[in-house]
């Protein structure tokens, strides 16, 4: 596969959220197993609530761990924490990743902006290189190409 089109994915945030998600899953399962033995009353609703909160926590961590931006010859698919969006290269005007930005940002031709959570400041120098690679892709495929 061409390295230029390799997906953009954070490293540090991905590892941290996967570990936290696993801890939430184990903790939730442990509570569900242990809790009924600690009480003489029916704890079914408590167990359902604990299960739902645990499931939401695991889902949230999985979603954070799966943020990415996947480029190809036609454009880029950006999967962020909540929203996902497909863009054609011609729609992207500029890539921003200045100091103080937690992740890369795309300025779009329609005046809107889109965060690219797949390139996160917490990854340090690697993130700067990845933002430069994304900017090179935008320049290569942009309207002037």
pLDDT tens-digit readout, 26-63: 999 999 999 999 888 999 999 999 999 999 999 999 99
Return the percentage of the chain with pLDDT > 90, whole number.
Answer: 87
Which phi and psi angles does 5 have, rounded to 5°?
Answer: -100, 15
pLDDT of residue 144: 56
The structure tokens listed for 89 are 């290269």
Strands, E, within the chain: which ranges? 68-71, 75-79, 84-88, 92-96, 103-108, 113-120
What are the b/e assignments for 98-110, b being 16+ CB within 10 Å? eeeeebbbbeeee
* Mean pLDDT, residues 74-89: 95
- pTM, to two decimals: 0.82
3-state secondary structure of 100: coil
What is the rounded average pLDDT for all residues in the chain? 93
Q: Where are the alpha helices (DSSP H) in 1-145?
A: 12-38, 44-65, 125-141
**Alpha-carbon span 109 to 142, nearest angstrom:** 11
State the pLDDT at residue 39.
87
pLDDT tier for residue 131 given thresholds of 50, 70 and 90: very high
Q: What integer is the mean pLDDT of 79-108? A: 93
The predicted model gives 54-73 an average pLDDT of 96
Write out the two tokens for 129: 């290189």
β-strand partners of 115: 105
Residue 143: pLDDT above 70?
no
Kindly tell me if the per-residue pLDDT of 85 is higher than 70.
yes
């Amino acid at each position: 596969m061409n390295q230029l089109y390799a997906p953009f994915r954070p490293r540090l945030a991905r590892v941290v959220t996967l570990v936290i998600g696993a801890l939430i899953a184990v903790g939730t399962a442990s509570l569900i197993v242990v809790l009924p033995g600690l009480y003489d009353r029916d704890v079914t609703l408590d167990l359902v609530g604990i299960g739902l909160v645990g499931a939401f926590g695991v889902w949230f961590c999985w979603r954070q761990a799966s943020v990415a931006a996947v480029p190809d010859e036609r454009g880029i698919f950006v999967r962020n924490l909540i929203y996902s969006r497909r863009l054609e290269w011609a729609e992207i005007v500029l890539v921003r990743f200045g100091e103080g930005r937690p992740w890369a940002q795309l300025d779009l031709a329609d005046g809107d902006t889109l965060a690219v959570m797949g390139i996160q400041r917490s990854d340090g120098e690697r993130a700067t290189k990845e933002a430069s690679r994304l900017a090179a892709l935008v320049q290569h495929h942009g309207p002037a190409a």
